[in-house]
A and B are shown apart, each in its own frame.
Chain A
Amino acid sequence: MAGRIPLVLLACGSFNPITHQNMRLFELARDHMHQTGLYHVVGGIVSPVGDDYGKRGLVASKHRLAMARLALQSSDWVSVDDWESKLEDWTETVVTMRYHYNRIAAQYHSSKDLPTVSEVPELKLLCGADFMDTFKVPGLWRDDHVEEVVGRFGLVCVSRGSLQPDRAIHESDLLSRHRQSIFLVREWVHNEISATEVRRALRRGQSVKYLLPDSVIDYIREHNLYTQDSEMKNKDVKLRPLTKQTIQD
């Protein structure tokens, strides 16, 4: 793929637990970016959020990391990174992106003599269409962060069922301004499998086979994750971004 810009895709999220759908996003995004003729996808990173995020039902990051690693064992291009989850407090997505970009750039510069890629790889945030709507939630994102995530880095957004990210872009001046750095990937298979649904099925003793890898299901059984109790976690806790970022104002 000579002459193409090398690209790394970064997916942030709870991965509570990781599902086939999460992994599909990487596959869809890679195909799409290759088909633009402009990019060569050289890597994928799954970065589970830290426990301090405070999301309802979030199990310990050590489990979420273990499950993601099991799920991606057989992948030759996507890997799991624990930097974000190991930080003291919840950390803004843009900070995680800067960390990974700097790391990738340093790797590139240090191996200049044996170039595997033609230039410093770009880093883009991989997400689903529902993610686009989060930009609208008051206090969840800082404007300057959105600017940097979307404008400086870029988004690869996979549509989901009836959720059309076009509308979210249209309704936001900020996003509209950076339209060229948002790549929209159409997922034609109507697939609403989500971690929420998986957790629900597990609570009810229903089968989740074929929605996530067997190795992850085995892990969940062994550690008895995802019960009525686990779903109660953070029930009365406010999402960390909402408390952390108001202090900055």
Chain B
Amino acid sequence: MSSQEKTKVVLLACGSFNPITNMHLRMFELARDHLEDTGRYRVVKGIISPVGDSYKKKGLIEASHRLEMARLATLNSDWITVDDWESQQLEWVETAKVVRHHAELISSENNNDDVDTVKCGKRRKLEQNTIICQSSSYINTKEDPPRLNLLCGADVLESFGVPNLWKPEDIEEIVGRYGVACITRCGSDPEKFINQSDVLYKHRKNIHMVREWVTNEISATHVRRALRRGQSVRYLLPDPVARYIQEHSLYSVESEQKNDNAILAPFQRYTSAN
């Protein structure tokens, strides 16, 4: 299959990244390898989108720090970037909206690439003194915009079942209109889970289950715990991130108490709407 026939994919990971760890970064690498291994896809970009402070998760430190740590972590990556749109919004933004925002951005970027070709076409047409034609058939190099896939762990997919955490139409949009690359743990049964959900089953073609054969469970929770206890987190996250945390004394007993009495934003929004 020639490279033109491969579908271009952008992977978008939403989450707290509190802090970012080697496990988060591995997810991107695993997903890219998996998708490209099918021969049908070419992964062109990865986006890390840290959640805003208004998410109100316990222990969530300022977005400015979480963004900077993610940036430090991806300095050495030639395809993974960090985006601050979500975290800059005043209110918490549903994942579906974040996905939509990035999909639209990708789409318009793609259209801008075609604008120049259209202009050339216009010029040629004018020279020939005929009506300007802007249909895509006129330009034979127009490409579809890359497909946006939400990159996540199996826990996110399973959280679709938690009452009032997701709007049903959002789930439908994410898996139906876009797609999901889901990293599954060794021992878990991803197909069973898809089978048990009608909406997931309906869009199973858009759900890519990426098997993680070798367990690598470096959770941010664990990292924060180690830091509170004065233990080393070296080699669990990139060195620049570990240094940044040390320099700014992030993650203490106090920081973990943040939002202790707050209600997680989605629960607040959806339960009050009912």
Whether A and B are associated in the same complex: the answer reads yes
Q: Do residues B217 and A189 form an inter-chain contact, with CB atoms below 8 A?
A: yes
Would you give 11 A-B contacts (Cβ < 8 Å), ordered by A? A20-B236, A21-B235, A24-B234, A27-B232, A31-B230, A188-B222, A207-B32, A207-B33, A209-B25, A209-B29, A210-B29
Q: Size of chain B's interface in residues, with CB distance under 8 A?
A: 25
Bound-state Cα–Cα, A189 to B234, Å = 13
Q: Do residues A189 and B214 form an inter-chain contact, with CB atoms below 8 A?
A: no
Bound-state Cα–Cα, A243 to B184, Å = 43
Given A23-B234, A28-B232, A191-B215, answer yes or no on A206-B25 (Cβ-Cβ < 8 Å): no
Instruction: With both chains docked as a complex, state the minimum distance between the C-beta of B236 and any C-beta of chain A, in angstroms.
Output: 7
| Residues in B whose Cβ lies below 8 Å from that of A3 | none
Residue of A nearest to B212 (CB): A192
| Residues in B whose Cβ lies below 8 Å from that of A189 | 217-219, 222, 236
| Residues in B whose Cβ lies below 8 Å from that of A192 | 214-216
Instruction: With both chains docked as a complex, state the minimum distance between the C-beta of A53 and any C-beta of chain B, in angstroms.
Output: 24
How many interface residues does chain A have, given as a range? 20 to 34
Q: Would you give the 0/1 interface string for A120-159, flagging 1 where the beta carbon is closer than 8 Å to chain B? A: 0000000000000000000000000000000000000000
Q: Would you give the 0/1 interface string for A179-216, flagging 1 where the beta carbon is closer than 8 Å to chain B? A: 00000000011111110010000000011011100100
B4 contacts chain A at the CB level, 8 A cutoff? no
B274 contacts chain A at the CB level, 8 A cutoff? no
Give the number of A-B contacts (CB < 8 Å).
Answer: 57
Instruction: With both chains docked as a complex, state the minimum distance between the C-beta of B44 and any C-beta of chain A, in angstroms.
Output: 15
| Residues in A whose Cβ lies below 8 Å from that of B234 | 23-24, 27
A116 contacts chain B at the CB level, 8 A cutoff? no
A37 contacts chain B at the CB level, 8 A cutoff? no
Select the residue from B30, B32, B213, B214 with max chain A CB neighbours within 10 A.
Answer: B214
Residue of B nearest to A190 (CB): B217
Q: Interface of chain B, helix or strand or loop or mixed?
A: loop
Given A188-B222, A189-B222, A190-B217, answer yes or no on A211-B232 (Cβ-Cβ < 8 Å): no
Q: Which of A23, A31, A193, A210 contacts B25 (CB 8 A)?
A: A210
Q: Do residues B22 and A210 form an inter-chain contact, with CB atoms below 8 A?
A: yes
Q: Do residues B33 and A206 form an inter-chain contact, with CB atoms below 8 A?
A: yes
Residue of B nearest to A19 (CB): B235
Give the interface of A toward B (CB within 8 A). Answer: 20-21, 23-24, 27-28, 30-31, 74, 161, 188-194, 197, 206-207, 209-211, 214
| Residues in A whose Cβ lies below 8 Å from that of B231 | 31
Q: Do residues B29 and A24 form an inter-chain contact, with CB atoms below 8 A?
A: no
Residue of B nearest to A208 (CB): B29
Q: Do residues B217 and A193 form an inter-chain contact, with CB atoms below 8 A?
A: no
| Residues in A whose Cβ lies below 8 Å from that of B140 | none
Q: Do residues B232 and A30 form an inter-chain contact, with CB atoms below 8 A?
A: yes
| Residues in B whose Cβ lies below 8 Å from that of A191 | 215-218
Given A24-B235, A28-B232, answer yes or no on A210-B26 (Cβ-Cβ < 8 Å): yes
Instruction: With both chains docked as a complex, state the minimum distance between the C-beta of B241 and any C-beta of chain A, in angstroms.
Output: 11
B239 contacts chain A at the CB level, 8 A cutoff? yes
| Residues in A whose Cβ lies below 8 Å from that of B215 | 161, 190-192
Instruction: With both chains docked as a complex, state the minimum distance between the C-beta of A97 and any C-beta of chain B, in angstroms.
Output: 25
| Residues in B whose Cβ lies below 8 Å from that of A197 | 213-214
Which of B212-265 touch A at CB < 8 Å?
A: 213-219, 222, 230-232, 234-236, 238-239
Which of B20-51 touch A at CB < 8 Å?
A: 22, 25-26, 29-30, 32-33
B76 contacts chain A at the CB level, 8 A cutoff? yes
Residue of A nearest to B239 (CB): A74
| Residues in A whose Cβ lies below 8 Å from that of B213 | 197
| Residues in A whose Cβ lies below 8 Å from that of B222 | 188-189
Residue of A nearest to B23 (CB): A210
Bound-state Cα–Cα, A30 to B230, Å = 12
Instruction: With both chains docked as a complex, state the minimum distance between the C-beta of B206 and any C-beta of chain A, in angstroms.
Output: 23
Q: Do residues A193 and B216 form an inter-chain contact, with CB atoms below 8 A?
A: yes
| Residues in B whose Cβ lies below 8 Å from that of A211 | 22, 26, 216
Q: Do residues A207 and B29 form an inter-chain contact, with CB atoms below 8 A?
A: yes
